Structure 1
Amino acid sequence: MTGIDVTQQASIAYQAMLKVIETSEPTVAEAIRQELTDQRTSLKLIASENYASLPTLLAMGTWFSDKYAEGTVGHRFYAGCQNLDTVEAAAARHAEELFGADHAYVQPHSGIDANLVGYWTILSHRVETPGLAELGAKSVNDLSEQDWEELRHRLGEQRLMGMSLDAGGHLTHGFRPNISGKLFHQRSYGTDPATGLVDYDAVRAQAREFKPLVLVAGYSAYPRRVNFATMREIADEVGATLMVDMAHFAGLVAGKVFTGDEDPVANAPVVTTTTHKSLRGPRGGMVLVDDEFAADVDRGCPMVLGGPLGNMMSAKAVALAEAKTPAFAQYAQDIVANAKALAEGLLRRGATLVTGGTDNHIVLVDAATSFGLTGRQAESALLEAGIVTNRNAIPRDPNGAWYTSGIRLGTPALTSRGFSPEDMDRVAGLICEALEGTRPAANSKGLPGKAKYAMADGLAARVHAEADELLGNNPLYPGLEL
């Protein structure tokens, strides 16, 4: 990921940093050291996690964290922001060039913030929004369900359609307990029950009937690509604005794995993303828009956000510059090759996968069908064996969103470590070995439980030892000493 000179310099920097932190709070310094140890000694397969470069990590710990900078470049509500102007402009310029976007807004603190900015950008562009005071409320926490109904009415009965949570969408795509499900009259589209794939004809029919203001595309647990050109046609047909949440696959867009009809930026006027998943940057968000939405999105602060995080914007600039290199483009290709190898290895060993495979970075395992386990049991057993995953709902999941029936796997992090398709096949073998030797255990009432599990004697240690061999062949931040 980085050259040896950079690593040597980073070692010196981190050693000095930890010594300074220890003078104020040694517990924090030790937790930082332990976190690196834990990440080095586990197979990280969480699809939403990655490893940022050492320059990106170092850019987060600077004096930019001390500066308020509400507003936009050259138009701040605080004095002395000229240096933050420099880094924010650099981050935006890199994003625009990398993705071919008309305009980039790099202030959002997270993907959820980016989605809220995206929604309000569309709303403020199309309707005049009332204030909370008109409803007699001091904050959104004071709004009753009747107040929300009135607010939606005043906003013109605005409607949103997004992928359902169990089909692979995100809670910010209209999930009712989320703010996105309260701002809008919401309806979800799912996937074909037989294939698990998006049925564009069904989405079109639903959109014609529901007539949403916003059609949301994108996913957090859908293991296939999406035709965004078709989604744009559907949105245009019903007078909706297409907004794509590419938080998970932004790195695949940046690396030109997704092009043409599969490129969200080329097909949607509003695109939101995180910067820390497959894009391999700092934790944060970003919104890319066509020119017609530029003035609206630049009001993200104070529309949704408070003061932007200058240290994170500087780290975004570093990561986005790295993503413009040929090495990153190859990395993006490797992510997909590794995901295919992982999926094929699981299928060959008898596992059942949602949609039968993958053509992006995500593999979604039906743990209930494959191994007779809930997602929570599978997640916990794998963690004990040194494999970090997350449980995830599958379409029409009988175990709900908490226990789930699936586990979601992703390849961006292990690809950053240098894992090959052959390595990923071995990882598939370890996953199956661990889960085949795990069974549900009774709960405190002696009934079949959804959380407790039992592994065969010595199995976790044996799998962990094999994982350690793979990890040793692909070290994390090689040469970095703390």
Structure 2
Amino acid sequence: MDADRQALKSYDPEIFAEIAGEEGRQTDGVEMIPSENYTYPEVLAALGSVLTNKYSEGYPGRRYYGGQEHTDAVERLARERACALFGAEHANVQPLSGSPMNQAAYFAVMQPGDTVLAMDLSHGGHLTHGAPVSHMGKVFNFVRYKTGEGGAIDFEQMMTIAKQVRPKIVLAGYSSYPRDYDYAGFRQVADEVGALAMADISHIGGLVAAGVMANPFDAGFDIVTTTTHKSLRGPRGGMILCRKGLAKAIDSSVFPGLQGGPHMNNVAGAAITFKKAAEPAFRGYAEQVLANAKTLARTLLDGGARLITGGTDNHMMVIDTVESFGLDGRAAEEALDRIGVATNKQVIPDDPRPPLRPSGVRLGTPACTTRGMGEEEMRRLGGWMVEALRAPEDAALAGRLCGQVRELCRGFAVPGVAKG
């Protein structure tokens, strides 16, 4: 045990015990929540560095505090690497997380009351894409499009809606949509009504960076937002990428418009992440994420699960657990928790059930792929998940499956987890 961990254990054994417990949970179980991943040891080092001590309100060369020579260099590297990775003309790496990231993007180009055409939440959209309970849903007028048969986007219908409501932004983005997007279709709708085309690729940012999924900038998008964790494997944070003409408005909206000083330890972690994502090994990782997702989806389908959209093009899938197993999403999540597989309850399109007891669960493959698991492990895990969901009250079965999951996990280390 290193000196810092020993000091924490001695000073605050209660907090130390919970951190150690979380390390054990991550090591002994399988993380299949698609928005979670294991970051790099190098990123963890940056997050715990002296950069956390420094206040850097402003932007490189234009700070409100002195002593910024090193923080300026860090942020410049992060911005340059982000632009190169995604093919963007400008990058703002200061947003503290995904929600303020999208809020800053909206306020940069719209006035309160302006309209955004975005995906319906139950069809896969995100909380920040116009949920009535969110502040953004109260400030801006969000009009929603839905998916059709098999999860396809009906662009003719979207065009009709866009001509009726004249949105300022046409937003492509999702939180639980298992397919890729036809970004050219969104761009066409935006052009027809004089709107900006914006994509929130938070879930698939790493897959886009690796070149294994489509890049919205290739279709001429104006703004692209992404979190820096999830499939990118970086620190928790957000980033706004845009064309050059929007750079000033975006930067002013982030600071001083929405937030104060950035977390420079996170910015350093993001810079490290972008460097990692530009390496050939990361493309191999991203390709394996997709291969694992397709294999897991096929295993679940073969086991009788109904998947929303019938499969997946990306890293995630959503099981209709009510139709498949007679369980609401909360009960299904708890049944999988008992065998050491972490997922999250999830609404399905036009779900009649409430959000805390929805009709499905969402799962994905980035974290287990980070540990080195492959398609054979996906077949085993998929089979165990089906067993658990078919008999959620069978304690003996849950105990046996939990042991099998734990035994599987012993062969795949979690990056960055301390020993002892």
Q: Which interval holds the TM-score relative to the shorter structure?
A: over 0.9
Identify the residue that residue 281 of structure 1 maps to in structure 2.
234
SS in structure 2 of the partner of residue 298 of structure 1: helix
Partner Cα distance (1:183, 1:360) in 2: 32
Per mean C-alpha deviation after superposition, the further-off stretch among 361-370 and 79-88 is 79-88
Identify the residue that residue 268 of structure 2 maps to in structure 1.
314
Partner Cα distance (1:224, 1:397) in 2: 19
Partner Cα distance (1:210, 1:36) in 2: 49
Partner Cα distance (1:200, 1:430) in 2: 39
The question of whether the paired residues in 2 share the 8 Å contact of 1:191 and 1:199 is answered with yes
Matching residue within 187, 199, 211 for 1:232: 187
Identify the residue that residue 297 of structure 1 maps to in structure 2.
250
Work out whether 1:87 is the aligned partner of 2:87.
Answer: no
Work out whether 1:107 is the aligned partner of 2:100.
Answer: no
How does the TM-score come out when normalised to structure 1? 0.85
Identify the residue that residue 251 of structure 1 maps to in structure 2.
206
SS in structure 2 of the partner of residue 49 of structure 1: coil
Identify the residue that residue 414 of structure 1 maps to in structure 2.
368
Superimposed CA distance per residue, residues 402-445 of structure 1 (whole angstroms, 9 cap, x where no aligned partner): 2100100110000000111111011110110000012xxxxxxx
Per mean C-alpha deviation after superposition, the further-off stretch among 264-273 and 373-382 is 264-273
The question of whether the paired residues in 1 share the 8 Å contact of 2:388 and 2:398 is answered with yes
Shift of residue 478, structure 1, vs aligned partner: 8.4
How does the TM-score come out when normalised to structure 2? 0.97
Shift of residue 246, structure 1, vs aligned partner: 0.4
Structure 1 counterpart of 2:413, which letter?
A: P
The question of whether the paired residues in 2 share the 8 Å contact of 1:253 and 1:263 is answered with yes
Superimposed CA distance per residue, residues 7-39 of structure 1 (whole angstroms, 9 cap, x where no aligned partner): xxxxx6xx2221122343222222222211110
Identify the residue that residue 55 of structure 1 maps to in structure 2.
42
The question of whether the paired residues in 2 share the 8 Å contact of 1:96 and 1:103 is answered with yes
SS in structure 1 of the partner of residue 151 of structure 2: coil
Superimposed CA distance per residue, residues 233-284 of structure 1 (whole angstroms, 9 cap, x where no aligned partner): 11111111111100000000011001xxx31233311111100100000000
Structure 1 counterpart of 2:123, which letter?
A: A
Task: Give the gaps of 5 or more residues in structure 2.
Answer: none
Work out whether 1:264 is the aligned partner of 2:216.
Answer: yes
Identify the residue that residue 133 of structure 2 maps to in structure 1.
177
Identify the residue that residue 168 of structure 2 maps to in structure 1.
213
Where do residues 365-404 of structure 1 align in structure 2 (5 Å cutoff)?
Answer: 365-404=319-358
The 1:478–1:285 alpha-carbon spacing in structure 2 relative to 1, beyond 3 Å, is closer
How many residues are matched?
418
Identify the residue that residue 142 of structure 2 maps to in structure 1.
186
Identify the residue that residue 391 of structure 2 maps to in structure 1.
437
Q: CA RMSD in A?
A: 1.4
Identify the residue that residue 30 of structure 1 maps to in structure 2.
17
Task: Give the gaps of 5 or more residues in structure 1.
Answer: 1-11, 124-128, 130-151, 439-454
Shift of residue 92, structure 1, vs aligned partner: 0.8
Partner Cα distance (1:461, 1:478) in 2: 28
SS in structure 1 of the partner of residue 38 of structure 2: coil
Partner Cα distance (1:255, 1:213) in 2: 30
SS in structure 1 of the partner of residue 199 of structure 2: strand
The question of whether the paired residues in 2 share the 8 Å contact of 1:265 and 1:288 is answered with no
Superimposed CA distance per residue, residues 266-312 of structure 1 (whole angstroms, 9 cap, x where no aligned partner): 33111111001000000000000100011111211111111100111
Partner Cα distance (2:38, 2:80) in 1: 23
The question of whether the paired residues in 2 share the 8 Å contact of 1:118 and 1:271 is answered with no
SS in structure 2 of the partner of residue 473 of structure 1: coil
Structure 1 counterpart of 2:152, which letter?
A: L
The question of whether the paired residues in 2 share the 8 Å contact of 1:73 and 1:89 is answered with yes
Identify the residue that residue 149 of structure 1 maps to in structure 2.
none
Shift of residue 185, structure 1, vs aligned partner: 1.5
Partner Cα distance (2:161, 2:278) in 1: 39
Shift of residue 44, structure 1, vs aligned partner: 0.6
Shift of residue 384, structure 1, vs aligned partner: 1.1
Work out whether 1:466 is the aligned partner of 2:404.
Answer: yes
Identify the residue that residue 448 of structure 1 maps to in structure 2.
none
Partner Cα distance (2:418, 2:263) in 1: 27
The question of whether the paired residues in 2 share the 8 Å contact of 1:344 and 1:357 is answered with yes
Where do residues 423-434 of structure 1 align in structure 2 (5 Å cutoff)?
Answer: 423-434=377-388
The question of whether the paired residues in 2 share the 8 Å contact of 1:339 and 1:411 is answered with yes
The question of whether the paired residues in 1 share the 8 Å contact of 2:345 and 2:358 is answered with yes
Superimposed CA distance per residue, residues 138-195 of structure 1 (whole angstroms, 9 cap, x where no aligned partner): xxxxxxxxxxxxxx4xxxx411111111000001001122122112112111111x32
The question of whether the paired residues in 2 share the 8 Å contact of 1:196 and 1:395 is answered with no
Per mean C-alpha deviation after superposition, the further-off stretch among 327-336 and 171-180 is 171-180
Shift of residue 479, structure 1, vs aligned partner: 8.8
The question of whether the paired residues in 1 share the 8 Å contact of 2:328 and 2:359 is answered with yes
Matching residue within 309, 316, 325 for 2:279: 325
